[in-house]
Structure 1
Amino acid sequence: MANIKKGDLVQVITGAKQTRGGDRGKQGRVLEVFAEKNRVIVEGVNFVTKHVRVGQTQRGTKTGGIETVEASIHVSNVALIDPKTKTPTRVGFREEVVEKNGVKKTVRIRYAKKSGEDL
């Protein structure tokens, strides 16, 4: 089961500090998750320049040039943000029994563990 999912608010916990031009400490929403590669794309983090070849659209307008896009970052380099304290936290799972249409089923539910301020 994945600790981080699409739409989660995460914070970058490794890399260079923002004062040195890095992304550590930045927060953003997860746009995409690549589970097989253990990587995520976070909104506003890890920008790279991409050179796009010049082409034409159906209307005849030219496309191409240099674009900046968000690149993927390893899932171990981000931490989920606790919704209550707004600080990075670890993710835990607990099993609960859910009854639906008279059928009991055990499901795993993801929750944010206690942050450093709560301890």
Structure 2
Amino acid sequence: MASKIKKGDLVEVISGPSQERGGYKGKQGHVIAVLTETDRVVVEGVNFVTKHVKQGQSARGTNEGGIETVEAPIHISNVAIVDPETKKPTRVGFRTEEVEKGGKKKTVRVRFAKKSGKDL
């Protein structure tokens, strides 16, 4: 499935437990990575998990390892793009525009934020 969410977009978590209950609903963050095979995104500051890293020796002789907290992916249907004007979650649409590049006209698809709704 083609994703409307790209790396670097500002998104908001729209489902799951609220922040008062220990969840991430309503939290905003930038997309770090998009995993198209599994329809998941990694969002900055959302869905932290504890990862145990085996201790090893690097080329400089330092020991690395221990317990780290990293962001885990969440399903793409649980996030919505944030409208840059209203700072609320919104849907995304596409429109075609004619762009002149190097003396040639070219038709391109451009993403735009639809009107923000209170339902999202």
TM > 0.5: yes
Q: Distance in 1 between matches of 2:50 and 2:94?
A: 38
By how many angstroms is 1:2 displaced?
A: 3.0
Structure 1 segments unaligned to the other structure (5+ residues): none
Q: Distance in 1 between matches of 2:59 and 2:104?
A: 55
**What is residue 56 of structure 1 aligned with on the other side?**
57
Count of residue pairs brought into register by the alignment: 117
By how many angstroms is 1:102 displaced?
A: 2.4
By how many angstroms is 1:116 displaced?
A: 2.0
Q: Distance in 1 between matches of 2:101 and 2:28?
A: 37
By how many angstroms is 1:95 displaced?
A: 0.7
Which letter maps to 1:86? K
**What is residue 90 of structure 2 aligned with on the other side?**
89
**What is residue 20 of structure 2 aligned with on the other side?**
19
By how many angstroms is 1:37 displaced?
A: 1.8
Alignment RMSD: 1.2
**What is residue 103 of structure 1 aligned with on the other side?**
104
By how many angstroms is 1:86 displaced?
A: 0.3
Which letter maps to 1:18? Q
Within-5 A mapping of 1:14-53: 14-53=15-54
Within-5 A mapping of 1:4-15: 4-15=5-16
| TM-score where L is the length of structure 1 | 0.93
**What is residue 4 of structure 2 aligned with on the other side?**
3
Q: Distance in 2 between matches of 1:108 and 1:38?
A: 22
By how many angstroms is 1:63 displaced?
A: 1.1
Q: Distance in 2 between matches of 1:39 and 1:100?
A: 34
Q: Distance in 2 between matches of 1:109 and 1:2?
A: 14
Identity %: 68
By how many angstroms is 1:79 displaced?
A: 0.3
Which letter maps to 2:29? G
Structure 2 segments unaligned to the other structure (5+ residues): none
